[in-house]
Amino acid sequence: MAETTADFNADVVIIGGGIAGLATAYYLSQKQNLQIILLEKDSIPNPNNSSYGDERMYRRMYSNEYLSELQEESLKEWKNLEAQHDCQLLRQNGLLFYGEAWDEETIEGSIPGARRVMEKKGIPFEALNAEQLQQRWPMRPKPDFIGLFESTSGMVWSTKAIELFRSQAETNGVSIHTGEETVSLNVTISGSVEVKTQSGNIFIAKQVVLTAGPWTNDLLSSFTDPLNLEIWPMLWGHYRVEETLRDQFPQWFCFQQEKPDSNDGGLYYGFPCHTPETSLIKVGIDWCPPELRSKTMSTFVREPDSELAQLLDQFLRNNWDGIKECVGLYFSPYTMTKDTLFVLDRLPGYPQISLFTGGSGQAFKFTPLLGKLLAELVLDQPPSFDLSPLSASRECVKPLSTVSA
């Protein structure tokens, strides 16, 4: 006779142990005396997640006023965490937007759009021309390039943030199960949610929070229509730089128009060197050719694309001084929406399931506020920030079957 697998009962089961799931667990564990279980298919941190890596940008330069306001509130939460737990999670080093200035928005906004929003909100910045850019940093800008430098932006120490949320959640009683891959969800007649895992365990919860990143639609497909999301493999890596220049690299984002005769999407970014013993900078691209995009993680390719790797290498060597050898390239899965805004909402038709998805490569900087907002959804509390732009019912993220109907 086969051995019966015991069930686990909880008030809340969180599926996904990336930064969003961990932040939700942290804030839920502070609100009420709840039995909370978090399920993560791999390890924490998981090198296969979109939130993997040591640093993430935070910034106040946005073309979208909503994101600018969301960042201001998120920064308050980050600073509260630093004060409450006596740790450093943020490093202020400024951010440079530079490149071509055309009046069309990209997935990261635009230079003219960011300028308009900063002027409207009274955020101080410096406007620079190509000559000033070259004098200030080890770069070789094209003559028509312009720049905006905002001094209060910087980076989030992402690994430290993940560890803080995890350790504090566990201290507060959250049960974290790693190596527990969720394979299906089912809403029972009584209204509870049954969560089945690859190991055969069954978890019964009053509420489920789905923070599964690029695996979201794979799980939704087990009981309902998937949302209109795409998974983009985004290339990033590390390059060694000349030791004499290592302290001169800024945190930057370069805007260039897409080149129609190639796969060059024109959007590149980089971080300062924060490891002087190795003189490494983190760099990446912020676009993905359509042929590499997918709808499910079952078809996601981990091996970095050689053409994209070559484009990144050429860009760095043509635009920056002191670039030496590449010491590692990676593909991370970014879950993208058509409007590049997140989804943070109750799943339509399923009030017992809250979800966060569609991070579009820019969610990490907002996660304390996102975790707080998800906790408020679960607890049926009024949201402390306007969630209407992040609705799961907005047209561009509705399931394709619903849209076509």
* DSSP calls for 92-112: E--EEEEE---S--BTTB-HH
Distance from C-alpha of 121 to C-alpha of 30, rounded to nearest angstrom: 33
For residue 45, the model assigns a pLDDT of: 78
Instruction: List, in sequence order, the alpha helices (H) in 122-215.
Output: 130-136, 158-171
Residue 245 has pLDDT above 90, yes or no: yes
For residue 403, the model assigns a pLDDT of: 44
For all residues of the chain together, what is the average pLDDT? 93
Residue 138 has pLDDT above 90, yes or no: yes
For the chain, how far is it from start to end, CA to CA, in angstroms?
48
Show Cβ contacts of residue 163 under 8 Å, excluding neighbours closer than 6 positions. none
Residue 263 has pLDDT above 90, yes or no: no
Residue 330 has pLDDT above 60, yes or no: yes
Distance from C-alpha of 332 to C-alpha of 346, rounded to nearest angstrom: 26
State which of 21-25, 105-109, 396-400 shows the largest mean pLDDT.
21-25
Show Cβ contacts of residue 377 under 8 Å, excluding neighbours closer than 6 positions. 344, 345, 346, 354, 383
The pLDDT of 81-101, averaged and rounded, is: 97
Residue 52 has pLDDT above 80, yes or no: no
The pLDDT of 89-104, averaged and rounded, is: 95
Distance from C-alpha of 59 to C-alpha of 155, rounded to nearest angstrom: 8
- Nearest Cα neighbor of 340 from 19, 24, 64, 100 is 64
For residue 402, the model assigns a pLDDT of: 52
Question: What domains can you pick out in the chain, each with its CATH number?
Answer: 7-52+159-226+339-404 (3.50.50.60), 95-151+230-336 (3.30.9.10)
Q: What percent of the chain has pLDDT over 70?
A: 95
Q: What percent of the chain has pLDDT over 90?
A: 87
Distance from C-alpha of 115 to C-alpha of 155, rounded to nearest angstrom: 21
Asked if residue 378 lies in contact with residue 205, where contact means CB atoms within 8 angstroms, the answer is no
Residue 56 has pLDDT above 80, yes or no: yes
Residue 388 has pLDDT above 80, yes or no: yes
Distance from C-alpha of 114 to C-alpha of 198, rounded to nearest angstrom: 45
Residue 367 has pLDDT above 80, yes or no: yes
Residue 271 has pLDDT above 60, yes or no: yes
The pLDDT of 29-34, averaged and rounded, is: 85
Residue 400 has pLDDT above 80, yes or no: no
pTM higher than 0.85:
yes
For residue 5, the model assigns a pLDDT of: 46
For residue 301, the model assigns a pLDDT of: 87
Residue 95 has pLDDT above 50, yes or no: yes
94: left (phi over 0), alpha (psi -120 to 50) or beta: left
For residue 399, the model assigns a pLDDT of: 86
Residue 59 has pLDDT above 80, yes or no: yes
For residue 53, the model assigns a pLDDT of: 59
For residue 334, the model assigns a pLDDT of: 94
Say which range, 80-89, 115-124, 295-304, has the weakest mean pLDDT: 295-304
pLDDT interval class at 405 (50, 70, 90): very low
Asked if residue 15 lies in contact with residue 211, where contact means CB atoms within 8 angstroms, the answer is yes
Distance from C-alpha of 262 to C-alpha of 258, rounded to nearest angstrom: 8
